[in-house]
Amino acid sequence: MLHPVILSGGSGSRLWPLSRHNQPKQFLALVGDRSLFQETALRAGRLPDVQAPIVVCSEDHRFMVGEQLQELGSGHGGILLEPVARNTAPAIALAALHLVARDPDAAMLVLPADHLIDNEDSFRQAVQEAARLADEGWLVTFGIAPEHPETGYGYIQRGEAINGAGYQVRRFVEKPDQAMAASYLAAGDYSWNSGMFMFRAQRFLDELGVHAPAILEAAREACEDAKGDLDFIRIDKDAFATSPSDSIDYAVMEKTSRAAVVPVSCGWSDIGSWSALWAAAEHDGDGNRHEGDVISLDSRNNLVRASARRMIATIGIEDVVIVDTADATLVARKDRVQDVKQIVDRIRQSGRQEHAFHRKVYRPWGNYDSIDAGERFQVKRIAVKPGAALSLQKHHKRAEHWVVVSGVAEVTCDDKVFDLHENESTFIPLGSVHRLRNKGSEPVELIEVQSGSYLGEDDIVRLEDVYGRS
């Protein structure tokens, strides 16, 4: 049986300020109404004879994965939580070990969560060809037919044909300069390296054991000590941390004698930069991609995204990216957007938080938006989903005032439990044990005013939590 494995551990820093550590690009609706992760899951689910997907993701993103699958009405074959990032080879090893324990003959289709594919028919045909090769013991990668001399991708050179279904891999090459990329395009036997793979799970583990045994051993030990937690599988951190950090290309595909490539032209993009998103999106008559409240005058070939409650106006600009969020705005030439990562690094090094968190932060129970802050106070807009509850907790350094804007909240404050209705308020003294719960069928929205000597999120002592957070 075919088992899709969705790798969802990337940070997507080149799409800052929209993509951030706590909500990276794979969970954003960048093209259409669904996130890239959701589109990947739906696309995989439409393949013939396919099983529910296995997802490998960061522990920080586990609830986002679960919620977005739930929105699709999609099940899963396991959500494996990477305790530390170790690149693609160890992540795929975790999924392969998980699969082999349940289906020794399982075929894996490895898909990054953040890719865009327009031509699903071509993709489906390529998967069918790859399945034939995987059945014969080949480790298959998908090579994208290059459309231009791209310097942002690695390349794969084709070798001898294999039974009309694909080709042996002659070599993998690193991201080239412009002249070399042009020569690859002219040669006609090179493809872009898509980062998508297909093979029998056991065959991959066998090759990994030969070429990268330390990765296999660490992954095997981490899986043996894994523990179930709600819908998730927690991989043992100490064991997994001993694994070398390596990509599947370096660890296995460049070393094995059984690497094959199936070329495909399917409208593929890894949405690896704002310029790539502009290229993949629909444009107006002037080549502009506008999202949100945007007014444009004599402007061409731009990507402009306005945030809620703010208008952006452009005059006489060309080939520019403008991305506005509630707490940060990016303005860059399209030919410089690959350098956004340098901005993210500077933000991180300065000790600021805009690289990691949006002003609106999502939690398994809902979200909060920090709408104002000053010395010794902070104001948040909080939304709690129906049936959800915050942890039973207390704070050492702050008190809180809650005002319900809509819905009915059940409030626990020390030994009291009571309902708080619209336009009603309550005070949570410093040190009081408290909880907020929504027992209704509609979201609860409230304003929280915090006051105290320290207002950081780490001043939370959780005494009880239905989501298993410590």
Please tell me the distance from the alpha carbon of residue 265 to that of residue 77, in angstroms, as a whole number.
29
From the options 3.40.50.720, 2.60.40.1190, 2.40.40.20, 2.60.120.10, give the CATH code of 360-464.
2.60.120.10
Please tell me the distance from the alpha carbon of residue 201 to that of residue 206, in angstroms, as a whole number.
9
Please tell me the distance from the alpha carbon of residue 262 to that of residue 129, in angstroms, as a whole number.
7
Q: What is residue 211's predicted lDDT score, i.e. its pLDDT?
A: 98
Peptide bond into 83 cis (omega under 30): no
**3-state DSSP assignment of residue 466:** coil
Q: Count CA atoms closer than 13 A to 346's CA, side-chain side.
A: 6
Please tell me the distance from the alpha carbon of residue 190 to that of residue 328, in angstroms, as a whole number.
40
Single out the residue of 68, 186, 199 nearest to residue 132, CA to CA.
199
Question: The domain at 2-269 falls in which architecture?
Answer: Alpha-Beta Complex (3.90)
Query: Which amino acid would we find at residue 323?
Result: V
Q: What is residue 179's predicted lDDT score, i.e. its pLDDT?
A: 92
- Kindly state the tokens that stand for 348: 């991180």
Number of neighbouring beta carbons within 10 Å of residue 461: 13
- Kindly state the tokens that stand for 457: 């999120």
Longest distance between any two alpha carbons in the chain, whole Å? 76
Q: How many helices (H) and strands (E) are present in the chain, helices listed first?
A: 11, 30
**Rounded to whole angstroms, what are the CA distances from 16 to 327, 346, 401?**
12, 12, 33
Q: What is residue 185's predicted lDDT score, i.e. its pLDDT?
A: 92
Q: What is residue 231's predicted lDDT score, i.e. its pLDDT?
A: 84
List, as one string, the DSSP characters of 316-352. Answer: S-BSEEEEE-SS-EEEEEGGGGGGHHHHHHHHHHTT-
**Are 144 and 136 contacting, i.e. CB atoms less than 8 angstroms apart?**
no
| Domains in the chain: boundaries | 2-269, 281-339, 360-464
- Kindly state the tokens that stand for 162: 């294999």
pLDDT tens track of the chain, all 470 residues? 899 999 998 888 999 999 999 899 999 999 889 999 999 999 999 999 999 999 999 988 999 999 999 999 999 999 999 999 999 999 999 999 999 999 999 999 999 999 999 999 999 999 999 999 999 999 999 999 998 898 889 999 999 999 888 999 999 999 999 999 999 999 999 999 999 999 999 999 999 999 999 999 999 999 999 998 878 999 999 999 999 999 999 999 999 999 999 999 999 999 989 999 999 999 999 999 999 999 999 999 999 999 988 999 999 999 999 999 999 999 999 999 989 999 999 999 999 999 998 998 889 999 999 999 999 999 999 999 999 999 999 999 999 999 999 999 999 999 999 999 999 999 999 999 999 999 999 999 999 999 999 998 889 999 999 888 77
Q: What is residue 114's predicted lDDT score, i.e. its pLDDT?
A: 94
Q: What is residue 455's predicted lDDT score, i.e. its pLDDT?
A: 93
**Are 385 and 443 contacting, i.e. CB atoms less than 8 angstroms apart?**
yes
Tokens 């043996």 sit on residue: 224
- First-to-last CA distance in the chain? 38
Q: What is residue 55's predicted lDDT score, i.e. its pLDDT?
A: 97
Query: Which amino acid would we find at residue 264?
Result: V
Please tell me the distance from the alpha carbon of residue 424 to that of residue 404, in angstroms, as a whole number.
6
Phi, psi of 45 (to 5 degrees): -70, -15
pTM: predicted TM-score of the whole model, two decimal places: 0.90
Edge-first strand listing for the sheet containing 416-420: 416-420, 409-413, 434-437, 392-394, 461-464
Please tell me the distance from the alpha carbon of residue 411 to that of residue 437, in angstroms, as a whole number.
7
